[in-house]
Structure 1
Amino acid sequence: MTLDDLRVFAAVCRAGSLSAAARELSCTQSAVSQHVKRLEREVGLSLVERHPRGVVPTPAGRMLSAAVTEGLGGIDHALRRIEGAARADGGSVRVTTGATTIRHFMSAAVVDFRRRFPRASLEFETATSSRGCFDALAAGRVDLAWITLGPTDRAVEQRPVVEVPWALAVSASSPLAAKDRVEPADLQDARLIGLPQNSTSRLQLGAWLGEAGIRPVFDTSVTDWDTAILLAELGLGLAVVPALPAWSGADHPDLRLIPIPALPALSVGWSVRSWDALSPLARAFTDAVTDHWRRQTAGARIE
């Protein structure tokens, strides 16, 4: 069994078919099949079940796939650290996060980081959920994940950076726009614009409202906070969202972000495989983002 066998097998499990894995790896389907068969001969068990529309890992295959993903991720991470050390300030930092994170949390820090490390490579991988970010960390595709923090059974370390308060986003023409605060009871039976049900912020919001006995109706679904706020600004619904500073102030005269102080703030920050294993360049990037975000939010609170 070789590292190539294991990499190909991980790609097959990730892609769900031999042909898709072959396209991902730029090789033939026959070559992919040979790698999988060699592994099966080595372990003495079938690792995938072959179906007309693809393959599904067997119980043994799932066990091996999880171990391979974790192990190869550690190897790739170590190789990137070695490469970064050899290239001094010309290494790379790979980050996974949501689609709107750079705008709200990282824009100034990215500019400063680029000035400090002009030879460094910054790579961003967009994910739609914390689960996707954890998968990217486990596979070794990225060094850092910026996520909404919450309980997880993944082998990661999390560090909160900022607590973002919740607000109700409404159009300035809404009867609710005159309120100076919103209580959870005001959301009973409200029809809300919501993020996907598997997103961490949606799960936490639902849990908190549920503890208060509140059952709002989520009848519109979007993939990110910015879209939810935009729809609310256009008068197409209400959205319970984090109070993002970029949406406050004179630039959005048709929008009101009304505080919901009874809801616990949303914890946002970094998730990594291991802080001790981070390269100096990756640490410098986390410090830049953390410092800029804290300065940005220090004076930006909903009035």
Structure 2
Amino acid sequence: MTLDDLRVFVAVCRAGSLSAVARELDCTQSAVSQHVKRLERETGVALLERQPRGVLPTRAGRVLESAAAEGIAGLDLALRHLRDLVDGESGTVRVATGATTVRHFMAEAVVAFRRQHPRVQLEFRTESSSRGCFDALADSDLDLAWITLGAPVRGIEQRPVRELPWVLAMRADDPLADRYRADAADLRELSGLRLIRLPPDSTSATQLEAACSELGVRFGYDTSVADWDTALLLAGLGLGRAVVPAFPGLREDGELRLVPLPALRPLAVGWAVRRWDALSPPARAFADTVVECCAKSA
């Protein structure tokens, strides 16, 4: 059993096709098949089930694929970090973020980090959700992912950086705009209010619903959006109201009114990594710089 055998096997499981992996690796289908057969001989079990269109991992195959993928990702990351150590202050930090994360949470940190580490490259990969960030972190050579903290994920460490209180956003001439804040009793009075909905499958939407449920509050929804910024834009245009986290830099303007909702449990955001103690020095420095800048803007 070799590392190449495991790499090819993981690729076949994900592609569902021996021929597709052969094309990707620029080799014959027979060569790909030999990698899998060698693993099957050594493990003593069938790892792939042939289908009319491609292949699927057997139950044993899924066990091996999961363990191999995790191990290969960790090994690849370790090898890259060793290269970073040899290079000293050079290298690359790869970060997965949501659509608006860099602007709201990292702009100042990126400038500071670039000034302190001019030879280190920063690469940002945009993901549509925290779940997407987790998957990208587990399946690639990413160093860090900025997420909305949620339930524990196997093989991932989460570290909170900042708590974001919730606010009710609306147009300045909205009948509710004259409220200074909405406590628990006010929120219950607003139960049934129809809102612009945060992405239904997002961690922030799930946690908002849970926080409302704790207070016996239930909102209705008219419109769904892909991110917090779009919800705020529509609210400012008078096309609805939205409950969103008060991220750094969020301010009222002539068109937008923000009513604090202190009774709702705040939303925690922060870093996710495979292992903190395995981060390269540049990746740890970038993570720490973001934490410091977030603390200053709190």
For structure 1, the 5+ residue unaligned runs are 298-303
Deviations 1:137-161 (A, max 9, x none): 3234211111111221422222211
Following superposition, the deviation at residue 121 of structure 1 comes to 1.4
Residue 229 (1) aligns with residue 232 (2) = yes
Query: How far apart, in 2, do the equivalents of 1:135 and 1:281 lie?
Result: 22
Following superposition, the deviation at residue 53 of structure 1 comes to 5.2
What corresponds to 2:40 in structure 1?
40
What corresponds to 1:206 in structure 2?
209
Residues 72, 140 of structure 1: 8 Å contact kept: no
TM-score with structure 2 setting the length: 0.89
Residue 64 (1) aligns with residue 54 (2) = no
Deviations 1:176-197 (A, max 9, x none): 2222123432442222222333
1:220 is paired with a residue of what secondary structure? Answer: strand
TM-score with structure 1 setting the length: 0.87
Deviations 1:172-224 (A, max 9, x none): 23222222123432442222222333321111111111222222123422222
Query: How far apart, in 1, do the equivalents of 2:175 and 2:33 lie?
Result: 63
Residue 248 (1) aligns with residue 248 (2) = no
Moved more, 158-167 or 135-144: 135-144
Residues 74, 140 of structure 1: 8 Å contact kept: no
Residues 198, 228 of structure 2: 8 Å contact kept: yes
Q: For 1:185, give the aligned amino acid.
A: R
Q: Name the larger-Rg structure.
A: 2
> Structure 2 vs 1, CA of residues 244 and 36 (structure 1 numbering), >3 Å: closer, same or farther?
same
Query: How far apart, in 1, do the equivalents of 2:11 and 2:50 lie?
Result: 15
1:89 is paired with a residue of what secondary structure? Answer: coil
> Structure 2 vs 1, CA of residues 2 and 220 (structure 1 numbering), >3 Å: closer, same or farther?
farther
What corresponds to 1:217 in structure 2?
220
Q: For 1:113, give the aligned amino acid.
A: F
Deviations 1:13-49 (A, max 9, x none): 33444566566x4535725455444433443433334
> Structure 2 vs 1, CA of residues 29 and 179 (structure 1 numbering), >3 Å: closer, same or farther?
farther
Query: How far apart, in 1, do the equivalents of 2:168 and 2:28 lie?
Result: 52
Query: How far apart, in 2, do the equivalents of 1:15 and 1:169 lie?
Result: 44
Query: How far apart, in 2, do the equivalents of 1:226 and 1:53 lie?
Result: 43
What corresponds to 1:177 in structure 2?
177
1:246 is paired with a residue of what secondary structure? Answer: coil
Query: How far apart, in 2, do the equivalents of 1:197 and 1:49 lie?
Result: 36
What corresponds to 1:27 in structure 2?
26
> Structure 2 vs 1, CA of residues 16 and 226 (structure 1 numbering), >3 Å: closer, same or farther?
farther
What corresponds to 1:300 in structure 2?
none
> Structure 2 vs 1, CA of residues 33 and 234 (structure 1 numbering), >3 Å: closer, same or farther?
farther
What corresponds to 2:258 in structure 1?
257
Q: Which runs of 4+ in 1 moved over 6 A?
A: none
Moved more, 11-20 or 231-240: 11-20
What corresponds to 1:282 in structure 2?
283
Query: How far apart, in 1, do the equivalents of 2:26 and 2:291 lie?
Result: 42
Query: How far apart, in 1, do the equivalents of 2:282 and 2:109 lie?
Result: 13
Following superposition, the deviation at residue 82 of structure 1 comes to 0.4
Residues 252, 258 of structure 2: 8 Å contact kept: no
Residues 73, 137 of structure 1: 8 Å contact kept: no
Identity rate, percent: 60
Following superposition, the deviation at residue 129 of structure 1 comes to 2.4
Query: How far apart, in 2, do the equivalents of 1:43 and 1:229 lie?
Result: 55
Q: For 1:232, give the aligned amino acid.
A: A
Residue 193 (1) aligns with residue 192 (2) = no
Cα RMSD between the aligned structures?
A: 2.3
What corresponds to 1:296 in structure 2?
297
Query: How far apart, in 2, do the equivalents of 1:176 and 1:57 lie?
Result: 56
2:134 is paired with a residue of what secondary structure? Answer: helix
1:175 is paired with a residue of what secondary structure? Answer: coil
Q: For 1:154, give the aligned amino acid.
A: R
What corresponds to 2:125 in structure 1?
125
Residues 150, 200 of structure 1: 8 Å contact kept: yes
For structure 2, the 5+ residue unaligned runs are none
Residue 156 (1) aligns with residue 156 (2) = yes
Instruction: Give the count of matched residue pairs.
Output: 294
2:223 is paired with a residue of what secondary structure? Answer: strand
